[in-house]
Structure 1
Amino acid sequence: MLVNGQHYYLTNALSGDKPVLLMLHGFTGSSETFQDSISHLKEWYNIVAPDLLGHGKTASPEEVARYSIQEICADLAEMLHQLKIAKCFVLGYSMGGRVATAFAAAYPEMVRGLVLVSSSPGLRQADVRASRVQADNRLADQIETDGIKPFVDYWENLALFASQSVLPDERKKRIRSERLAQNPLGLAMSLRGMSTGKQPSYWSELAHFHFPVLLITGALDAKFETIAQEMQQLLPNSTHVTVQDAGHAVYLEQPMIFLSQLSNWLEVILKEEEK
């Protein structure tokens, strides 16, 4: 699909008059990230799962400004417009959750409900954002200099993903293959343009999110557990679910619990809308 001048690849399952769920993957991911979830959800929901700019089979332009979170959100709004979707549930994991939060702040009229998995509204302090920009720029340079494999080796050994070491070998191979298939330019430019340090802080926007919000975190992911607890205090209509025996990638580490919690929440919201 051509969106604002860029080719976007998306996995979709659109059939009949069903609620729409927009699913946004994390850094180094793609729409393939959610293939198991989509196979379970598509019976009840119309699914739109794009590869975000610089990821998967979507374009990797060379202009860093094109990767700003505001530009990505404008792309998503245009994508939904082309698909004739006026309003949808938006789910985002990690980086995708930051995009989902920014999208909800920019286009609240298009959001039926928001699901944030292991995500953050950004960094509050300007000096912390500046330090993060520098670190992400160095990592982007490293990807372009060393190539994708050394970067993936480094990325997989981050403490953030330590809990994934117990996953079945087949699932770990699939995750690694998805990462190794990425375009080094796309990942580098995504780091430079969509860095947590580059995006605005959306903490002050949370009080204006009057649609329902579901926060899902893994009990082993202490950092994002704390962030979700802080977010819940600011959100007017939110639910926080902690999944035991899961770290950052809850949907991969405890897929059936993740799907159960997500489906139950969506069902409750849809029943409340009918009243």
Structure 2
Amino acid sequence: MPPRIHFVPAEVRLRVLEWPGEKGTLLALHGLTGYAETFLPLIPALNPPYRVLGMDLRGRGGSEGPSDEAAYGLEAHLRDIAAVLEALAPEGALLMGHSLGAILSLAVAAEQPERVRGLLLFDGGPLPARAFSESLAQVLNARLEELPSLEAFRERVRAMPFLQPFDERLLPILEAGLIREPDGRVRMKFPARLGMKEAAELGAIWNDRLRGYAGRIRCPALLLKAPVGTFGPHDRYFTEAEEHLLREVVPQVRIVEVPGTTHYTIVLGYHAERDRIVRAFVEEVLG
């Protein structure tokens, strides 16, 4: 079934997709360059019976994007998430976050623990390892702001190493992040420069802030991590240092590797084992 679409009036108008369900709510928070549809491969593992909300962070997907670049960043996203929870899940939710979404999930769990029933983190939480950060810059630079046609876009994404082996079912999901011009050109809805700005801001502050949350996050937590690097074996998000920091802050976290996945395909992909692990954890937390 197609999701319901809500627009939450906050500081900016926020688009939220809803897959209705009867057994508790999950709020999905996407990564730096993502949008709500990037969680589509996971929906069949959860709905039914669970209710799933997927919000577009400001400037992404169908959410409003402020023209002032100073209106983006960690604090703005946290205010937006609070507004969505207040409007659509005042009873609280299990937060399901990928990459940047995992960072935001941890912050909400520490600062508004009454709203968070559990944490399901996908390849994110602490700042990533240095090699991954360098690869992320390459990914952002490779996301050409404009391509001459939809077919040119499809050829580009089919060749991206971190989406291999490429699954054609991903094309409609990836194309949801595009604006199509009348002359056939396509461009990304979320400008790469804003992604770089947000990544730089987080790089300066996040790990210190995360350490300050030690002892404050007490809900059940599961991290699914990807063993395959973005461009090769050397640039995974998690090394021992990142895992150690996460365990230091959230000692109850369970960490499970999903074989064959990259930082992107751990969410933006179809994996039966991932779905089994996710469903088991959600059933444990939400019943």
Query: TM-score normalised to the size of structure 1?
Result: 0.78
Q: Name 2:105's counterpart in structure 1.
A: 100
Shift of 1:178: 3.4
Q: Name 1:10's counterpart in structure 2.
A: 16
List alignment gaps of at least 5 residues for structure 2: 1-6, 180-187, 230-234
List alignment gaps of at least 5 residues for structure 1: none
Is the CA contact 1:101–1:121 (under 8 Å) kept in the aligned structure 2? Answer: no
Alignment of 1:154-193 (within 5 A): 162-168=161-167, 170-181=168-179, 182-185=188-191, 187-193=192-198
Alignment of 1:27-38 (within 5 A): 27-38=32-43
1:254 to 1:2, Cα distance in 2 relative to 1, 3 A = closer
Shift of 1:199: 4.9
1:259 aligns with 2:268: no
Counterpart secondary structure, 1:28: coil
Number of residue-to-residue matches in the alignment? 252
Q: Name 2:56's counterpart in structure 1.
A: 51
Shift of 1:215: 0.4
CA distance in 2, matches of 1:88, 1:184: 27
**Corresponding residue to 1:90 among 71, 95, 98:** 95
CA distance in 1, matches of 2:66, 2:38: 22
RMSD: 3.2
CA distance in 1, matches of 2:24, 2:53: 11
Alignment of 1:102-141 (within 5 A): 102-122=107-127
Query: TM-score normalised to the size of structure 2?
Result: 0.75
Counterpart secondary structure, 2:91: coil
1:26 aligns with 2:63: no
Counterpart secondary structure, 1:245: coil
Is the CA contact 2:19–2:51 (under 8 Å) kept in the aligned structure 1? Answer: yes
CA distance in 2, matches of 1:263, 1:111: 18
1:31 to 1:85, Cα distance in 2 relative to 1, 3 A = same
**Corresponding residue to 1:246 among 261, 277, 280:** 261
1:165 to 1:175, Cα distance in 2 relative to 1, 3 A = farther
**Corresponding residue to 2:220 among 209, 212, 223:** 212
Shift of 1:179: 4.0
CA distance in 2, matches of 1:121, 1:31: 22
Comparing 100-109 and 192-201, the one that deviates more: 192-201
Q: Name 2:3's counterpart in structure 1.
A: none
Question: Which amino acid counterpart does residue 166 of structure 1 have in structure 2?
Answer: P
Counterpart secondary structure, 2:18: strand
- Answer 1 or 2: which has greater helix percent: 1
Is the CA contact 2:45–2:278 (under 8 Å) kept in the aligned structure 1? Answer: no
Counterpart secondary structure, 1:251: coil
1:171 to 1:229, Cα distance in 2 relative to 1, 3 A = farther
Cα deviation 1:206-262 (Å, max 9, x = unaligned): 442111110001221463232235423442211101011111131334532211111
Q: Name 1:78's counterpart in structure 2.
A: 83
CA distance in 1, matches of 2:105, 2:70: 19
Cα deviation 1:58-84 (Å, max 9, x = unaligned): 111112232121111111111111124
1:23 to 1:235, Cα distance in 2 relative to 1, 3 A = same
1:203 aligns with 2:207: no
CA distance in 1, matches of 2:283, 2:21: 19
CA distance in 1, matches of 2:273, 2:67: 40
Question: Which amino acid counterpart does residue 254 of structure 2 have in structure 1?
Answer: T
